[in-house]
Amino acid sequence: MFPVRCFTCGAVIAHKYEDYKGLIDSGKSPKEALDELGIKRYCCRRMFLTYKSVLKEFARYHGAVG
Amino acid sequence: MKVEVIRDDGFWTEFILRDSNPAFANAWRRAMKSHVPVMAVDYVDIYMNSSYLYDEILAHRIGLIPLKTNLEKFNLQNQCVCGGEGCPSCQVSLRLNVEGPRVVYSGDFVSDDPETVPVFDNIPVIELFEGQQLMLEAVARLGFGREHAKFQPVSVCTYRVLARVRINESCSSCRKCVQVCPRNVFSVDEDRVRVIDEFSCTLCKDCLKVCEENAIELTETDDFLFTVESIGQMEVREVARRALDAIKSKAQEMVSLMEEL
């Protein structure tokens, strides 16, 4: 799951994650999306840029592992 | 001492503290970070968790969700009439009872107190898949930032000393300082180097290193530029005010201790 807060500065970022995903899906670059959402500091920006969801990966094996 | 607000939208504020000293500025900064209590979930009773996240990880995520805090309404647990056992005047329960498949958001919590609700309704807490269930009760209480970062009312809370930049007569207008300054403090006007943006100076002293005539005078002023960003539990103004109250009460305690000696 996407981290609730930025690891470094502690600002809440998770409430913007779905908007970010929507902007990326609409064809915007990560830079444009982050600028639009007002994520200014690079500590918070990297939280979005480097996030990879693993929960969905787990779900693919649902049933196989119980 | 005087405070001059430059920018304030409630949750992101810049202000100048004038005619002060580093000791007070830093005391204030630290008080804002760690001496203003806010609500956060500190204890989670998990009755049912068949999701992919472990109970601890789930509890940690719930703890990090900021909750709107009304400090007039609640007591610190160790100063409460219940003696720290937990009662409606020092803690709030937030219940969650959901079934997958769906994404659970912070807004799905049902709070006992209509005022103590998550600041943001759309924080994804966990994603539940087919057949997964979650039943829990999260207990929020007041706490201080020095205990855990989730109890901090501010994320960014910094100050910098404002500089006084002057150019004296020995300046040869070589313009090296204009080129080297990373904050564009200097500019050339009618063949003379002038200070155009003293406010931006961060006292890096690069200009002093390149100036062969020693024509630049850099001094620290007694003014401090604060940048404070609130997490959302309360506005920056209230955090700042309560931090000052905390410093005051600590100072008074110190005075009474000194009198006893």
User: What pLDDT was estimated at residue A55?
Assistant: 85
User: How much is the average pLDDT of B173-192?
Assistant: 90
pLDDT exceeds cutoff 70 at A65: no
Share of chain B above pLDDT 90, in %: 79
Q: How confident is the model at residue B49 (pLDDT cuts 50, 70, 90)?
A: very high
CATH 3.30.1360.10 fits B2-34+156-227, yes or no: yes
Average pLDDT, chain B: 93
pLDDT exceeds cutoff 60 at B8: yes
**Domain spans in chain B, listed from the N-terminal domain onward:** 2-34+156-227, 38-151
Chain B residues in contact with A6 (beta carbon < 8 A): 155
- Condensed to tens digits (0 to 9), the pLDDT of residues B101-137 reads 899 999 999 999 999 999 999 999 999 988 899 999 9
ipTM of the modeled complex: 0.88
User: What pLDDT was estimated at residue A64?
Assistant: 53
User: What pLDDT was estimated at residue B190?
Assistant: 83
Q: How far apart are CA B257 and CA B23, in angstroms?
A: 21
- Condensed to tens digits (0 to 9), the pLDDT of residues A9-56 reads 999 999 999 999 999 999 999 999 999 999 999 999 999 999 998 888
Q: Quick check: is A38 in a domain?
A: yes
Closest Cα to residue A16, out of A41, A34, A42, A1? A34
Q: How far apart are CA B256 and CA B27, in angstroms?
A: 20
User: What pLDDT was estimated at residue B261?
Assistant: 86
Return the C-alpha torsion angle A24, A28, A30, A33, nearest 10. Answer: -90
Q: How confident is the model at residue B22 (pLDDT cuts 50, 70, 90)?
A: very high
Question: Which secondary-structure segment (H or E) carries A23?
Answer: helix A17-25
Q: How many domains does chain A contain in total?
A: 1
User: What pLDDT was estimated at residue A62?
Assistant: 66
Asked if residues B132 and B100 have their Cβ atoms less than 8 Å apart, the reply is: yes
pLDDT exceeds cutoff 90 at B152: yes
Q: Quick check: is A52 in a domain?
A: yes
Contact: A59, B120; criterion CB under 8 Å:
no
User: To probe the interface with A, which of B11, B52, B148 has the most A CB atoms within 10 Å?
Assistant: B52
A31: CATH: 1.10.10.60
User: What pLDDT was estimated at residue A63?
Assistant: 62
pLDDT exceeds cutoff 60 at B57: yes
- Condensed to tens digits (0 to 9), the pLDDT of residues B218-252 reads 999 999 999 999 999 999 999 999 999 999 999 99
User: What pLDDT was estimated at residue A66?
Assistant: 46
Q: Mind telling me how many Å the CA of A1 is from chain B's nearest CA?
A: 6
Using only C-alpha atoms, chain A has a radius of gyration, in whole angstroms, of 14
Q: How far apart are CA B158 and CA B228, in angstroms?
A: 6
Q: Is A1 on the interface with B (CB under 8 A)?
A: yes
Contact: A10, B123; criterion CB under 8 Å:
no
Of the candidate CATH numbers 3.30.70.1900, 2.170.120.12, 2.60.40.10, 3.40.50.10480, the domain formed by B38-151 belongs to 2.170.120.12
Q: Mind telling me how many Å the CA of A20 is from chain B's nearest CA?
A: 13
Q: Three-class SS of residue A41?
A: coil
Q: Is B125 on the interface with A (CB under 8 A)?
A: yes
Q: Identify the domain containing residue A41 by its residue range.
A: 14-62
Chain B residues in contact with A55 (beta carbon < 8 A): 52-53, 127
User: How much is the average pLDDT of B33-62?
Assistant: 94
